[in-house]
Amino acid sequence: MKILVPVKRVVDYNVKVRVKPDQSGVDLANVKMSMNPFCEIAVEEAIRMKEKGLAEEIVAVSIGPVQAQETIRTALAMGADRGIHVTADTLVEPLAVAKILKAIVDEEQPGLVILGKQAIDDDTNATGQMLAALLGWPQAAFASKVEKDGDGLKVTREIDGGLQTLHIALPAIVTTDLRLNEPRYASLPNIMKAKRKPIDAKTPADYGVDIAPRLEVLKVAEPPKRQAGVKVESVADLVYKLKNEAGVL
């Protein structure tokens, strides 16, 4: 089985995000970028499946600027076999990403597509579901455990009420949640080997996909700063403040 793993280049989760002075977007100048944490989990899960003999090849895919090749190299250093880089210098919305991935799936014919449930920059949580709809494949979102089950997969997923276990036939789409695994660090020898692994260069036009944005960002602003809390002398004071100042009673 071949596994396709889409990975995204985002602002590193340790970086404090700054808004541009004109509020047109997030300031990315001189900001550390890295692989989206949920994508790291997806890559790790694909590698573990390969180590168990459930997969023969892992293909990492990234859609973005030239620097996105660094993200693919990270996946290759972790254990992916080859990469596909679709160059896009503008913001690519989830639907366009899903259409490009569908074209890649049609070309590569993987048995499984595993990707992060969302990216930490836009928090859209839509690409996996859109891709499943375009392909007509079964899907299991928010996976916290993935096991081989006959000819398919048994996926434990996190829902508001607890845990739900699904059996899905292959080929399928799986999106990863935080508790699925802990991604490994790439060793220095593997980082050196990753430099020799192939990355195919593509463009959206190669797949016949129009990536022109359908949405217009009007304004980006930081959330309001939290006000300091206060201490009250009695329950009566607390009830008074909740009722007359906070307006929650």
pLDDT of residue 248: 76
How many residues in the chain?
249
37, 13 Cβ separation under 8 angstroms: yes
Examine the pLDDT at 166 and tell me if it is beyond 90: yes
In a domain, 241, yes or no: no
Domain that holds residue 71: 2-224
Domain count, the chain: 1
In a domain, 18, yes or no: yes
In a domain, 238, yes or no: no
In a domain, 231, yes or no: no
In a domain, 176, yes or no: yes
In a domain, 30, yes or no: yes
CATH number at residue 129: 3.40.50.620
In a domain, 157, yes or no: yes
Would you place residue 247 in the very low, low, confident or very high pLDDT band (cuts 50, 70, 90)? confident
pLDDT tens sequence across 106-146:
999 999 999 999 999 888 999 999 999 999 999 999 999 99
**Strand partners for 26:** 19
Residue 122 corresponds to which tokens in the numbers above? 């836009």
pLDDT of residue 114: 97
62, 10 Cβ separation under 8 angstroms: no
In a domain, 105, yes or no: yes
pLDDT of residue 241: 87
Nearby residues of 244 by Cβ (< 8 Å), 6 or more positions away:
none
Beta-sheet strands, E only, within the chain: 2-6, 9-11, 33-35, 57-64, 82-87, 112-116, 139-149, 152-159, 162-169, 172-176, 199-202
